Structure 1
Amino acid sequence: MNLSVINSPFDENQATQLNQIIQNLTIEQQVWLSGYLTANLQSVTTKQETPSEVAQFVLNKGTSSNSDRHITVLYGSETGNAQGLAEKLADRLVELNFNVQLNAMSDFKTKELKKVEDLFVISSTHGEGNPPDNAISFHEFLHGRKAPNLADVRFSVLSLGDASYEFFCQTGKEFDSRLEALGGARLVERRDCDLDYDDVAESWMDHIIEQLSDKSLSEETASTTNEVQLTNDKHYSKSQPYKAEILENINLNGRGSNKEVRHIELQFEDYGEAYEPGDCLVVIPENDEKLVDRLLEILNWDAQIDIPINEKGDVLTLKNALQHHFEITKLTKTLLQKAAELFDNSDLSEHVLDYEWIKSYIYGRDLIDLIQDFQPKALAPEVLYQFLRKLPPREYSIASSYEANPDEVHITVGAVRYYSHQRERQGVCSIQLAERLEAGESASVYLKKNPNFKFPFDEATPVIMIGPGTGVAPFRSYLQEREELGLNGQTWLFFGEQHFTTDFLYQTEWQDWLKTGVLSKIDLAFSRDTNEKVYVQHKIEEQSEAFYEWLINGAALYVCGDEQYMAKDVHEAIHNVLVKEGNMSDEEAEVYLTQMKQDKRYQRDVY
């Protein structure tokens, strides 16, 4: 509910300001604020309560309860998606007067698990089937010998993942099976979400509320739920994107480079919401029209016929659906298995029984390859939604500071081009931004908070930033903000690319910040300028003594960029520094790094 002069004691200006503040608060922040205000109103009390104690009371007890059982919502989140869904679930349950405790798994005291009654777990899967950083300790505890019997616990799990990965939703599946093995009773079946998770997550939440209420949603409950969703949603979103005009589209690489990295500036003058260093800009892409036309030609389909795009029966023209709605450039295991049912192709039906073949085939191929390799006997455009997933949005770390550029958002985009299986291939969104959109044209975008990649804004905390390639983007945002706020202090950047002369992204800005003291120290690794390739992890080990000194002096450590190779190699390098300079065993070094993660001193934004 939005405040107004009619439904509140505030004047119009106060109501507007409060609405702007409240809509950007998480459920935990809203509850804390509620408790804080309540505490201030209590002039006399038998026990002096702190605002946080009152906030915890408001969150867990409320004014009246819909159930005597206590609900615990735990999330494991790397980029904020699982956290956002957990907050939404908690918000809906609190509005329905349920007793709710919401925690990141890393903040949940495991000794309390034996007291839990209704447990709802929302977790993403990171990398090749691993728990996200803030779920690791809870995952290990749950699978260890100290995990309690959960015979009195009802539970349900929502898993987030990407079906193009081999271990799709693996962490959520492991939580689900382990909770059952410990004696828990499944209240609602686990749901596994692909990149487009909104509808599945909403359905899962609805089923939970139905089960907790021991009845289907009444009209009153449904009305309340809809109101909660409306007030909790941002103004701009995937379903309601902002049209941002492109102001600049600049190639950051010099002539002769093997890379093409674009610096893109977008107009955000009337967006109405601030962003912070570490946050993301989400771009809603569209498929290359030439690729869509080629697909229509191969299938000999009429581009202008209307087709359903989902189970609900929403309709688009075929060309519009292929260009703006369906993903056609990536194959997944699930897609191949569903296609085998619809294509009526015996060869494909036989091949999909072999998982090793699936892993090999989907690499570097797209829908055109699949149709050409396994001709469908009678594929109708009306069934596309049954095996194609929605075109997922792309997230880019913001490379600018809101304090310095309140009317703009900058992103750093690496153009993806490669040759595979006798055809030239292109990244869907990166090439749209690099080639198909020019200054003056617009992109469909919205902001996304990244609560697990937040920077300190004080002069006492040393900050180490490791971001090769486009991974340097959030550090440009951070240093711009520090400059705008007039902050000095210890800041150390590790940057790497192929060649100094052509690939030193934002070179003059780093040099200017070094001169002014916004940036204290920079180490560079240009892998192709020496006989032996040198990467940022090598520079960390070269600076082992100083790096360790920064860590023991309380430095906060940030890593952004490629997960598969860089992030693992950087983690190993930091581990080696702790072993060498701190005389730690391998186990002690990992314990130290784990504690840094729990203390929010070691944060990663890797992809």
Structure 2
Amino acid sequence: MELKVTNSPFNQEQAELLNRILPTLTDVQGVWLSGYLTAIQGTSISSVTTSGEAQLAPVAANVIESSKEVTILFGSQTGNCNGLAQKMAKKLKELDFQITLSSMGDFKPNGLKKVQNLLILVSTHGEGEPPDNAIPFYEFLHSKRAPQLEDLSFSVLSLGDTSYEFFCQTGKDFDKRLEELGGKRLSPRVDCDVDFDESAAEWMNEVISSLGQATASSTIANVGSGSELSATESEYSRTNPFHAEVLENLNLNGRGSDRETRHLEISLEGSNLHYEPGDSLGIYPENHPRLVDELIEAMGWNAEESVVIHKNGDRKSLREALLRHFEITVLTKPLLTQIANLTSSAGLNELLKTGHEDALRIYLSDRDLLDLVQDCSLKDIPAQEFVSILRKIPGRLYSIASSSKSYPDEVHVTVRTVQYEQQGRDRYGVCSIQLSERIQAGDSLPVYIQHNPNFKLAENPDAPIIMIGPGTGVAPFRSFLGEREETGAQGKTWLFYGDQHFSTDFLYQTEWQRWLKEGILTKMDVAFSRDSDQKVYVQHRMLEKKQELYQWLQEGAYVYVCGDEKKMAHDVNAALATILEQEAVSAPRKQRSI
């Protein structure tokens, strides 16, 4: 429809300009313009001059006149923030923003002074620490070298886990520091628990609105879904898992072992899911039926009562909801606080009192929901009210132990069964005991691929690689070597592996031996801690081979470490530091003596 002077508040020149430009606008540009005009407060005509020119009321003070340039920085350990940052970048590009998307580790912090709009997406690692690729930027921002940022508008999305004491601490630190340096918030920081999809989508919408794009057409409904899928993309994701058939479920440990390690081979046929070495497989587990039944009995509930499990109104029986949809084995302080609001339990309120933080921390570390119900004599809480405050059961991530080039349409994982007794009751890993006791070949599991760009094979196939993976930490290196076998990579490879006993706990022994024989694996050093009077671990083997290991590092070797982050990773890091210090000092003397 042509705009005319007689049917609009525009003069002839303005009408002609609009008639020329409006037909050329794309749908996205039209949405942007509509959102921009809608976002302006007080757009009604305040007066009309004798020439027919409309005068608009001043823009409200709270509308941000922002640049079209947006910098998105992510700090990610397992890839979640990376994925969210890419989704945000894609949405803003569709709205004609100019986007700089970067890992914090790749961003040059000296350029921060020039940034006008900054979006931070960051997870919290370990005990409130930044993820590895965020450390340099984090340290710069908290140093005296950090510039004043009075012209900066920013917003922070923080990912974490409420079962940890320092929930979302890294995101909180970034948010506080950017404000201290003079930055102004585009929108408030959002802290996400393990089930982050809805919260992240709300944050994205808030940011888009603050950037002047408040329109229904630009709303992000779910960060886990895409609009139009290309032929290479899968419809299955973290929020829409693929129900995959289990092909094999084997115990890798020998008879007499104190451990049980399951090797699962899972079909991805028909899913269009793709992975690379270093990625992880997410599995949505089920709670143990016995624990579910005991919890229902302790609370005096009816197992067949219908309860709402989602904001969209989906309903399931109470037993089904507790079995497959809600987490009941992990306690958090926010959960205890919400339960306290539903009951008058003196024991629970005592536990939550200020000054009892140490006792609460200990309680949360080794109790589950049934313990809480029994210890605090919780009763008379309606089932619907109770489940409405539980968080969704999160997927468990396992390093992929196969190369898709070796096993097309399959994915393999290595899972150690966790089972022990505590407080007079049997305890177990939710997913590992399900895989051990209740999953057989032919059953299906809801799965998704978790891409991890921080743990990838070197792009140069000739580069040496050093792999350190005791126990199930060796899983991704089976994937690495399978991939290098298929691609014909020529670089040297060295594996450090450890477990308890050589005879019963040597995972994938025949495969390592075959790869050694064929030259795919150049060197292998093992440490079986219970086979000698003195316990020997992988870090001890590294120190024994420190001269050769240092030489590999000098040749540009990539070092990969996978396993227990609380102890093993620190011990390995300390061993590497010792090797670098000692060999770097002695190397010049050796050169002079030649």
Q: TM-score range by the shorter chain?
A: 0.7 to 0.9
Preserved contact between residue 420 and residue 427 of structure 2 (Cα < 8 Å): yes
1:220 aligned residue? 217
The 1:246/1:338 distance shift into structure 2, 3 A limit, reads: same
| Segments ≥4 residues shifted beyond 4 Å | 223-228
Q: Which of 345, 354, 376 matches 1:374?
A: 376
Preserved contact between residue 245 and residue 267 of structure 2 (Cα < 8 Å): yes
Distance 1:426 1:220 in 2: 46
User: What amino acid maps onto 1:439 in structure 2?
Assistant: A
Preserved contact between residue 160 and residue 172 of structure 1 (Cα < 8 Å): yes
Distance 2:321 2:136 in 1: 43
Distance 1:202 1:224 in 2: 6
User: What amino acid maps onto 1:355 in structure 2?
Assistant: E
Distance 1:247 1:241 in 2: 18
The secondary structure found in structure 2 opposite 1:93 is: helix
The secondary structure found in structure 1 opposite 2:397 is: strand
Cα offset, 1:584, TM superposition: 9.1
User: What amino acid maps onto 2:515 in structure 1?
Assistant: W
Cα offset, 1:433, TM superposition: 1.0
Cα offset, 1:154, TM superposition: 1.1
1:118-153: CA deviation from partner (whole Å, max 9, x where unpaired): 111010111111111100000000000010101111
User: What amino acid maps onto 2:196 in structure 1?
Assistant: Y
User: What amino acid maps onto 1:87 in structure 2?
Assistant: Q
Matching of residue 339 in structure 1 with residue 331 in structure 2: no
Cα offset, 1:426, TM superposition: 1.0
RMSD across aligned C-alpha pairs, in angstroms? 2.0
Cα offset, 1:412, TM superposition: 0.3
The secondary structure found in structure 2 opposite 1:106 is: coil
Quick one: percent identity of the two aligned structures?
52
Unaligned runs of 5+ in 2: 1-64, 588-594
The 1:340/1:458 distance shift into structure 2, 3 A limit, reads: same
Distance 1:227 1:374 in 2: 38
1:66-119: CA deviation from partner (whole Å, max 9, x where unpaired): 953421111000110011111111111111112221110011111111111111
- Which sits farther off after the overlay, 287-296 or 549-558? 287-296
The 1:224/1:280 distance shift into structure 2, 3 A limit, reads: closer
The 1:227/1:362 distance shift into structure 2, 3 A limit, reads: closer
User: What amino acid maps onto 1:454 in structure 2?
Assistant: K
Q: What are the within-5 Å matches in structure 2 for residues 143-162 of structure 1?
A: 143-162=142-161
1:513 aligned residue? 515
1:415 aligned residue? 417
2:266 aligned residue? 266
Preserved contact between residue 205 and residue 220 of structure 2 (Cα < 8 Å): no
The secondary structure found in structure 1 opposite 2:533 is: coil
2:300 aligned residue? 300
1:132 aligned residue? 131
Cα offset, 1:483, TM superposition: 1.2
- Which sits farther off after the overlay, 573-582 or 483-492? 483-492
User: What amino acid maps onto 1:180 in structure 2?
Assistant: E
Cα offset, 1:543, TM superposition: 0.6
Distance 1:414 1:120 in 2: 38
2:470 aligned residue? 468
Distance 1:489 1:184 in 2: 47
Cα offset, 1:289, TM superposition: 1.4
The secondary structure found in structure 2 opposite 1:344 is: coil
Matching of residue 400 in structure 1 with residue 402 in structure 2: yes
Preserved contact between residue 155 and residue 186 of structure 2 (Cα < 8 Å): yes
The secondary structure found in structure 2 opposite 1:519 is: coil
1:490 aligned residue? 492
TM-score by length of 1: 0.83
User: What amino acid maps onto 2:524 in structure 1?
Assistant: I
Cα offset, 1:535, TM superposition: 0.6
Distance 2:221 2:173 in 1: 33
Number of residues paired by the alignment? 518
Preserved contact between residue 224 and residue 238 of structure 2 (Cα < 8 Å): no
The 1:570/1:326 distance shift into structure 2, 3 A limit, reads: same
The 1:97/1:457 distance shift into structure 2, 3 A limit, reads: closer
Preserved contact between residue 246 and residue 443 of structure 1 (Cα < 8 Å): yes
User: What amino acid maps onto 1:461 in structure 2?
Assistant: A
1:285-344: CA deviation from partner (whole Å, max 9, x where unpaired): 111112111111111211122212345543222111101111001111221122111122
Q: Which of 556, 559, 575 matches 2:558?
A: 556
1:450 aligned residue? 452
- Which sits farther off after the overlay, 264-273 or 244-253? 264-273
Distance 1:328 1:543 in 2: 46
- Which sits farther off after the overlay, 223-232 or 75-84? 223-232
Cα offset, 1:420, TM superposition: 1.0
- Which sits farther off after the overlay, 237-246 or 218-227? 218-227
Matching of residue 533 in structure 1 with residue 508 in structure 2: no
Distance 2:480 2:222 in 1: 38
1:428-471: CA deviation from partner (whole Å, max 9, x where unpaired): 11111111000111111111211111102544200000000001
Q: What are the within-5 Å matches in structure 2 for residues 225-240 of structure 1?
A: 229-231=226-228, 234-240=234-240
Q: Which protein is richer in helix relative to its size?
A: 1
The 1:226/1:436 distance shift into structure 2, 3 A limit, reads: closer
Preserved contact between residue 155 and residue 185 of structure 1 (Cα < 8 Å): yes
Distance 1:226 1:553 in 2: 42
Distance 1:193 1:318 in 2: 26
User: What amino acid maps onto 1:243 in structure 2?
Assistant: H
The 1:224/1:419 distance shift into structure 2, 3 A limit, reads: closer
Distance 2:169 2:116 in 1: 25
Preserved contact between residue 204 and residue 220 of structure 2 (Cα < 8 Å): no
Cα offset, 1:274, TM superposition: 2.6
* Structure showing greater Rg: 2
Matching of residue 428 in structure 1 with residue 430 in structure 2: yes
2:256 aligned residue? 256
Cα offset, 1:258, TM superposition: 0.9
Cα offset, 1:225, TM superposition: 9.4
Cα offset, 1:166, TM superposition: 1.3
Unaligned runs of 5+ in 1: 1-65, 586-607
The 1:223/1:472 distance shift into structure 2, 3 A limit, reads: closer
Matching of residue 581 in structure 1 with residue 561 in structure 2: no
Distance 2:344 2:327 in 1: 22
The 1:270/1:228 distance shift into structure 2, 3 A limit, reads: closer
Distance 1:445 1:584 in 2: 50
User: What amino acid maps onto 2:585 in structure 1?
Assistant: N
- Which sits farther off after the overlay, 458-467 or 173-182? 458-467
